[in-house]
Amino acid sequence: MQKKYVLAALKEMREKSKPRKFVQSIELIINFKGLDTKKPANQVDVKVNMPHATGKKGSGKSLLFAKDKAFIESVKEDFDRIIEEREIEKLSKKEIALIASDFDLLLAEGPTMIPVGKYLGQQLAPKGKMPKPVKPNKAIIEQILKQAGSVTRVTNKKGKFMPLVQSVIGNEKMQDEELSENALAIADAVTKELPGKHQNIKSIFVKESMGPPIKLATAKGASQK
C-alpha cells in the first residue's frame, strides 16, 4: 500500500462526506483472500503503535488498580475496569489470566503496586503485563490515556473470525497526512502477520463512521478487486 493512494482515497472520502452533528471517526478496512481464518496461524492479532494519536483512548481495554476512593470516583468513566486494593488478593488465577489476556493498558495507583506484585506478579510479569504505577491525579490519567490513543489492537479474533480487519485511524478533524501515516502503520503491521503477505490482501478501504467505504487504488492505477 502506497501513501499516495491512501491520500487519494481520503480526498475522495471527504468529497463524498455529508456534514454531521458530531466528529466522525475514520476507519481502515483490510479484506483478506486465500486465508482459512479458522486456523490460528491465519488469525490476525497485532498491536500497532501509530505515529499520531487518534484522540481516543485506543481500541485496547484499560484497567486500573486503585486505593483512593475519590480518585476512583473521578476516573471511573475512563477505564473498562477498576479493581480496588481490597479486591486484589481475592482474585482467582482464572481472573488474573483473563486480566493478562483481555487488557492492553494496565495502570496502578502507587500503593497498590505492593499487593499487585504479591498476588498477581507471578502471572502478570512473565507476560509483560505488570501495571505502570501512576499518581492519583485525573489530569495525569487523561494524558496517559490520550497517548495510548496512538496504540491500537488490530484483530479478527473477536467473536466469529472474519476475513477482514477494521480499525480506527483517526477522526475527520485530523490532517490527511496524519491519517495516511496511521493507515500505513496498520497496513504494514497486518501484512507482516499474513502468511502470504501482500498476496493475502484482497482490497483496502477507508471510510468515515457514517460514510460510504472508499476503495484504494492499486499500484497499477486500477481499483483493488
- Domains for the chain: give ranges and CATH numbers: 3-44+156-215 (3.30.190.20), 62-135 (3.40.50.790)
User: CA 121, 141, 71: angle at the middle one, nearest 5?
Assistant: 85
Model pLDDT, residue 224: 42
On average, the pLDDT of the chain sits at 89
Confidence bin at 69 (pLDDT 50/70/90): very high
Task: Check if the beta carbon of residue 159 is closer than 8 Å to that of residue 153.
Answer: no
Q: Residue 99: helix, strand or coil by DSSP? A: helix
Q: Residue 84: helix, strand or coil by DSSP? A: strand
Q: What is the per-residue pLDDT across 127-167, written as a single tens digit (0 to 9) for each?
A: 889 999 999 999 999 888 877 767 788 888 766 678 999 99
Q: For residue 204, what is its C-alpha cell?
A: 483496502
User: Is this prediction's pTM over 0.75?
Assistant: no
User: In terms of DSSP bridges, do strands 164-171 and 25-32 run parallel, antiparallel, or are they unpaired?
Assistant: antiparallel
Model pLDDT, residue 225: 36
CA separation, residue 130 to residues 64, 98, 109, 126, 133 (Å): 11, 14, 13, 9, 9
User: Among 121-125, 154-158, 187-191, which stretch is predicted with the lowest mean pLDDT?
Assistant: 154-158
Q: Give Cβ neighbours of residue 40 (< 8 Å, ≥ 6 apart).
A: none
User: Among 65-79, 139-153, 161-175, which stretch is predicted with the lowest mean pLDDT?
Assistant: 139-153
Q: Which residue has the cell 491512501?
A: 6
pLDDT above 70 (res 222): no
Q: For residue 135, what is its C-alpha cell?
A: 499518581
